[in-house]
Structure 1
Amino acid sequence: MSQGSNFVDYVKICCRSGRGGGGSAHLHRDILTSKGGPDGGDGGRGGHVMLKGNSQLWTMLHLKYRKHVIAGDGDCGSSSLSSGKTGRDEWLEVPLGTIARDSETGEILYEITTDGQTEILTKGGRGGQGNSHFKTPTNQTPRYAQPGEAGKEEWVILELKVLADVGLVGFPNVGKSTLLSVVSAAKPEIANYEFTTLVPNLGIVAYRDNRSFVMADIPGIIEGASKGKGLGLRFLRHIERNSVLLFMVPADTKRTITEEYNILLAELEDYNPELMHKPRILAISKSDLLDEELTAEMAKEVPDLPYVFISSVAQKGIQELKDLLWKSIV
């Protein structure tokens, strides 16, 4: 199975919580008591469908074929004020960065961002109250109890947005994967054709004084991505969670650096205008092709933002780039 088919960042699941158990309408009877009072216990609540964050997961592959999740029903109450057993909860473990949405309204229900974070995705039905709750001065022996509440059935969308400090933004084949392989221990697939990267790759970048930050190499953007072209919206979703956006434009671009940067920026703005508030840095890649004179000439046409000329192959400008990124992150 390829890395692409291993990476699942979107699943739609039908969640059904358990029905609550009915309360008991039992009246106390024993050898010495022929007409005792109410001693019916409460029903147990139905099982919840629960979400739990797990920092060891990076994909939702394990949920891809789990289309229906059904929690257990609560047991009925019984005599001697005994409560029914709670229904079995069903747990869905998800990677950090997962968003749960209502499939009909699109409303965000939860965002899972920390390891061990737990949320009730679909709540189980409440257990019914036993007849002991309904005893009054005028009705000493109520012969009725509350039924359990029905569980819920709903379709939920789970969507993963990669959590990283730095997101690499650029057209296909500008050297994003190469940069990640040079600055971290990540080993993304690298080749000289478009869309080599089909899934996000994360790498931990070592910085000075044993500090580090996380960089994400995300599938390359193309013109029209915000309209869903190419890998389009699937790519752009992962950009939303990055603290800093590192735009990469190759030195051998057929357009000017500013033109290429502006096209990338426009795609992000079309998709989500809030992305415009994130810190941005520009790296001009493949700059080992340039001599000093050409570098100085190209620097004149760079847009107004922090920039650095880099070459991953020649290790040129890499430390300077790390310094710029670290300043923006902290």
Structure 2
Amino acid sequence: MIDSLSLENKLKKNEIANCYIFCGSDEQSIKNVIDIIIKKSIKNDFMDLNYTQLDGLTVNSDNLTNACETLPFMDEKKVVVVYRASFLRDKCDREKEKVYKYMEMYIKKLPKECILIMYYIFENDREKESNKIKKLDKYCQVVKFSKLKGAAFQKKVKEIFDKKNLKIGKVELTLFCNCVENNMDIIQNEVEKLYWYTYGREITSKDIYDVITVKNDNDIFNLVDYLSQRKPEKALDILNELIFKGENVNTILRMIERQFNLLFNIKVGLEKGNTKEELARELRLHPFICENMMKQSRKFQFNQIEKSMELCLETEKNLKSTSVDGKTEMELLIINTARS
């Protein structure tokens, strides 16, 4: 098994394997590497004929075989990608186990004209690669996409800015990397926002503070969004992730309280007929963030937000007691809020 940086070095030397299995929590990074392999392996004129995508949730032995066995048209190679290949997880249903057993046997005799790529996404940053793909490491190139850190992370982010022809200094780049979630999907979205916000001029620190969604704010937005959908198990996943990253439970609670307070004020403003621009100015929110929160506020009734704010205050009182477990109190808050 190798990491993504080792794979990129191999691809720069045009060392392309016959079969790949990718895993990690950052799907955008995986997709970027797949694009590189496709462009290096298939002539653009025959892309439609020599590139096949299969859904990992519905793939079976027949369509996998047919896709791989079909000869490339007017080219030396064809590429088959099985995305979200859940059969590569250790725990899956009987049908997916059948697919895995077949694939385990089939990749040993994969046609040399075919490049087969399969990937699955970790459910959180703490998940480890499955035992299944460890077993397959001797038959294909297994690559784990761990999140980049430090200088390697900044270099990758700078490449995204460069592709958009955006000018950003070293200090501003460091600030951006410290503020944004370490996820290429989110980073590309934030760079896109900065592109339109600055449009032709160099990015300043103020631009970054004005435009981007700070990483923990984004987590809290998603946590509250899952509460609006009555999915406490998803909200608990985010809570556990924040705690795992070292965030204090009191800080998390304050952010949740702030989110509900903003949603309440936005909902009041919408009832009065205020526009997005008026709400953004009054609440000191970027228009992009305000628009998303307006959508989120519509998922709640007033009484739900009020009840949620009451539960937050109750939790805050409980946390001040030395006899309670902070994590347990936050879990109860999420479960009770989802039921309110």
Same fold per TM (> 0.5)?
Answer: no
In terms of Rg, which structure is larger? 1
- Structure in which a larger fraction of residues adopt helix: 2
Report TM bin, short chain.
Answer: under 0.3
- Structure in which a larger fraction of residues adopt strand: 1
TM-score (norm 2): 0.23
